[in-house]
Structure 1
């Protein structure tokens, strides 16, 4: 990997999240926490799917289910550098979908894929059910330590700068599109967690 490509990859990693940066950046995005959280069954993304006496608790559960579905779709897409047959557009919308698609193009152009899985520790930190669309914010510690950038043809790991963040705080904006919660934006902070 050239110095320029390594620099671009570092820049991407610092801004990645939920994916993620601009076209032309060699990609590796992320998640953090205990791996047990990744195996929880997914709830439906539809607000009418889970009924509770507490609308805030119901919304939080739905938002987390959509966020986990978003990451599951990203892992599949990044493993083959393609959004096809991954349901990424079922969970991501607006800026979040655009970022992921740009990163997938960059991966494909560079002949790379990302193997393994990130670890996530998401927490819904705000929910607003009074506005239309409804909105929520998630704060996550994304750990990409075991999500490796590799050459698609050879499977060889791409060497990345050691000073890059492999665990970072990410803020995720989720809102309803129609009656369905979707991830609309992700912002990685330049700080570890």
Structure 2
């Protein structure tokens, strides 16, 4: 089942409420790019382009998992590598978001293209505003597609991510900047194998509104 990733997530504030754009080209880089689109402010660590509808509970409405038992050894290895990259991206965002360290070259360990550019821009805005992110996300990713079969270079992942415990704080005082809770949001991602860097990188991502999974 193919995910319909027609939009780029605009993380220009790491907390935007509604924004959409076509996915740009995906070029590997450890340096942050620039997201030119801005959007209105939300409350927590994730953004919600409004591209995905809203089921009632976590995990509901996600595509069926890819049947790994029917895949080739190369496909199973690709699926595992892509999941490591996807979850590594979230781990790095939580860690670097705690200091809004958007210039850290480790931002590019698991992301590329528009995803890297947008998240870098988001952390940079938090830095300018004197904000940091504390807490962590919760997720339940599943691989839904691995292609091509012979030598996979593209893995699609569907996830339900919670930002309820990933909130903005004022860096100088440690006070919560906005305690409004988030919730479960559907995340769809493409993880691509970069032949130059010889690793899997999240190259496309869409995140839905609170309640979209």
Corresponding residue number in structure 1 for 2:170: 151
- 5 Å matches for 1:1-193? 12=16, 22=37, 28-29=45-46, 54-85=73-104, 87-130=106-149, 134-159=153-178, 165-178=182-195, 179-190=198-209, 191-193=211-213
The structure with the largest helix share of the pair is: 1
**TM-score, normalised relative to structure 1:** 0.71
CA offset digits 1:80-119 (Å, max 9, x no partner): 0013557221111101100111101110111111001000
Q: Are the counterparts in 1 of residues 157 and 188 from structure 2 also a CA contact under 8 Å?
A: yes
**TM-score, normalised relative to structure 2:** 0.65
Q: From the superposition, tell whether residues 14 and 78 of structure 1 become closer, same or farther in structure 2 (CA, over 3 Å).
A: farther
Q: Are the counterparts in 2 of residues 10 and 160 from structure 1 also a CA contact under 8 Å?
A: no
Aligned length: 162
Q: Are the counterparts in 2 of residues 24 and 106 from structure 1 also a CA contact under 8 Å?
A: no
Q: From the superposition, tell whether residues 124 and 14 of structure 1 become closer, same or farther in structure 2 (CA, over 3 Å).
A: farther
CA offset digits 1:52-104 (Å, max 9, x no partner): 96222111111101111111111111110013557221111101100111101
Q: Are the counterparts in 2 of residues 137 and 172 from structure 1 also a CA contact under 8 Å?
A: yes
Q: Are the counterparts in 2 of residues 77 and 84 from structure 1 also a CA contact under 8 Å?
A: no
Local SS of the residue matching 2:164: coil
Local SS of the residue matching 1:91: coil
Q: Distance in 2 between matches of 1:55 and 1:149?
A: 41
Q: Are the counterparts in 2 of residues 25 and 106 from structure 1 also a CA contact under 8 Å?
A: no
Q: Are the counterparts in 1 of residues 89 and 111 from structure 2 also a CA contact under 8 Å?
A: yes
CA offset digits 1:25-78 (Å, max 9, x no partner): 666138xx7xxxxxxxxxxxxxxxxxx962221111111011111111111111
Corresponding residue number in structure 1 for 2:24: none
Q: From the superposition, tell whether residues 177 and 133 of structure 1 become closer, same or farther in structure 2 (CA, over 3 Å).
A: farther
Q: From the superposition, tell whether residues 137 and 167 of structure 1 become closer, same or farther in structure 2 (CA, over 3 Å).
A: same
